[in-house]
DNA sequence: CAAATTCAAAATGTATCCAAAAATTGATTT
DNA sequence: AAATCAATTTTTGGATACATTTTGAATTTG
């Protein structure tokens, strides 16, 4: 088990709390209270908040403290647009230098997706696995691009709550099926070193995901208020992050 | 004059020290020493280092401290490649929504460049002004794109020491002249809403800058060991950041 | 003699305390 | 009654003290 400093734990915990909607956009992050809730002192808490403020999840004003950052619709859209461009670029680069082993891995991920979609629907119990497969597929390609900045920058963009590829609208089977078919085509195009083709499919893949998400957001906003992301609960003490006060 | 917290001052000071080469890549950043050098305690210093580690200038390992981050050649190249792509994208987006006033400003910046290059060379005393004009030109276009992420992400890439657009190889007049001619063409293309044309020129503009910089780096590496960036010296106490020890 | 081990010194991580700034409250004035 | 201002409270920023981890050199052991 690797050693984790309480700053890192706090940062991860707060990050999850924000992405999951436990802490709402615009909400003030009182240092005393938060530190108390997490059971740590203000020093590591402030370090964690400083980290998060640089990654963009938290905003900060000197002498006024930290807030959960608010994202405008245009920022969310913008994040998708850049992701589409960067991941298309990743495809272009990856296609020129992909090895047989790499293609095999991508095709394997696609096959795993097939398996998870076999029932003719994305079952709730298969959602985490599918999500994991999806993340792996995208990050693998970005890694294969050979340009580490793509991974880094896209990671930044994932911090925009709704634009995260951890969000999957899993109710609409047809859309998922088609999206997964994109994965197959991308994997094949990369295997065949069809750079521009892979890039095009990827661009459309992400652009459509954006469009679809926006449509869903307009229809069922409540589904996105609390995005289910908690893979590993990462519990520090017991109880929720909110509604805890000093006991002394 | 706006209030600045000592954390912010320290971050700015260390940032400059790294970009200017005063602190060398890979160098260990001892907290006690650095704090002492800057005349502050470790608390704000650590906050500053945390900030810098998130922006990518400083690397960090838990319980092992902070280091000046080392960049591989491939990372520097990668940063340029992404910049080329993102700024080309900015051109594409800006072209569709540019106003007369915006074009006028870009053309004005180009005209200022003409004025600075009038002598038939980029004189050392004109270098800061030219650099400023160059930065303004690029950031203006990114702002006009309407996608704030472009500016944010490119700013991240600027933290890669050599890939910063504050670096201008000002000795080679022909190259600068041609590069500045690109600016004119980009400004005109944007004014005429020629999106793809503007994007193409911008991509080549940055790609060539990279190529030229690499060639220069191979020829005269010493020119890049200490990149002259200090516009505002930002002196905290007197003396250099290095070679100071506790006096007690 | 080399590798492993131990233990002290040094450096990092965290808690607590103090100072400075901002927010709030209440009184006062218009 | 609304606005203004001063005093109080709250909250943030920074310094110091303490705890934990790492490091490195001396010592031991095979």
* CATH of residue A82: 1.20.120.530
What residues approach strand D to within 7 A at the CB? A 3, 28-32, 42-43, 46, 60, 62-66; B 5-7, 40-44, 47, 63-64
Whole-number pLDDT of residue A194: 97
User: Helices B127-144 and B100-117, interaxial angle, to 10°?
Assistant: 160
The predicted model gives B195-223 an average pLDDT of 88
Q: Are residues A59 and A177 in the same domain?
A: no
Q: Are residues B17 and B133 in the same domain?
A: no
d(CA A151, CA A155): 6
Q: Is the pLDDT of residue B131 over 80?
A: yes
Q: Are residues B131 and B77 in the same domain?
A: yes
Give the closest of B47, B62, B146 to A8, CB-based: B62
Q: How confident is the model at residue B240 (pLDDT cuts 50, 70, 90)?
A: very low
Residue A83 lies in a domain: yes
Whole-number pLDDT of residue B156: 86
Distance (Å) from the alpha carbon of B233 to chain A's nearest alpha carbon: 22
Q: Tokens for A13?
A: 């915990």
- Please give the backbone phi and psi of residue A245, each rounded to the nearest 5 degrees, phi first: -130, 170
Residue B244 lies in a domain: no
B241 CA – D5 C1', rounded, Å: 45
| Residue contact A78–B46, C-beta within 8 A | no
Chain mean position to CA B23: 17
User: Helices B73-95 and A73-95, interaxial angle, to 10°?
Assistant: 130
| Residue contact B63–A5, C-beta within 8 A | yes
Any A CB within 8 A of B55 CB:
yes
Question: What ranges in chain A are assigned the alpha helix state H?
Answer: 6-19, 31-38, 42-55, 73-95, 100-117, 127-144, 148-158, 173-191, 195-219, 222-225
Q: Are residues A55 and A169 in the same domain?
A: no
Q: Are residues A79 and A111 in the same domain?
A: yes
Residue A238 lies in a domain: no
Q: Are residues A77 and A62 in the same domain?
A: no
Q: How confident is the model at residue B167 (pLDDT cuts 50, 70, 90)?
A: low
What is the maximum alpha-carbon separation in chain B?
66
d(CA A11, CA A17): 10
Beta bridge partners of B66: B29, B60
Low-confidence ranges of chain A (pLDDT < 70): 1-3, 163-170, 221-248
d(CA A42, CA B157): 32
d(CA A101, CA A107): 10
Whole-number pLDDT of residue A124: 87
Q: Are residues A166 and A183 in the same domain?
A: yes
Count structural domains, chain A. Answer: 2
| Residue contact B5–A78, C-beta within 8 A | no
Whole-number pLDDT of residue A169: 65
Distance (Å) from the alpha carbon of A5 to chain B's nearest alpha carbon: 7
């Amino acid at each position: 088990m690797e050693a984790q400093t309480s700053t890192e734990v706090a940062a991860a915990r707060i990050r999850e709390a924000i992405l999951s909607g436990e802490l709402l956009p615009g909400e003030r992050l009182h240092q005393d209270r938060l530190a108390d809730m997490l059971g740590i002192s203000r020093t590591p808490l402030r370090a964690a908040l400083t980290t998060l403020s640089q990654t963009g999840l938290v905003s900060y004003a000197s002498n006024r403290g930290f807030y959960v950052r608010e994202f405008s619709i245009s920022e969310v859209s913008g994040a998708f647009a850049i992701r589409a461009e960067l991941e298309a670029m990743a495809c272009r680069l990856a296609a020129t230098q992909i090895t047989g082993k790499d293609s095999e891995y991508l095709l394997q991920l696609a096959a795993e997706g097939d398996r998870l979609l076999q029932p003719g629907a994305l079952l709730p119990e298969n959602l985490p696995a599918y999500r994991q497969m999806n993340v792996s597929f995208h990050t693998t390609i970005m890694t294969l691009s050979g340009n580490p900045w793509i991974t880094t920058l896209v990671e930044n963009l994932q911090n925009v709550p709704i634009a995260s590829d951890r969000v999957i609208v899993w109710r609409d089977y047809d859309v998922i099926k088609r999206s997964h078919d994109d994965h197959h085509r991308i994997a094949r195009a990369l295997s065949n070193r069809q750079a521009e083709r892979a890039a095009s499919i990827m661009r459309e893949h992400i652009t459509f995901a954006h469009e679809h998400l926006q449509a869903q957001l307009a229809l069922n906003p409540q589904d996105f208020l609390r995005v289910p992301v908690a893979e590993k609960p990462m519990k520090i003490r017991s109880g929720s992050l909110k509604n805890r006060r000093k006991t002394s």
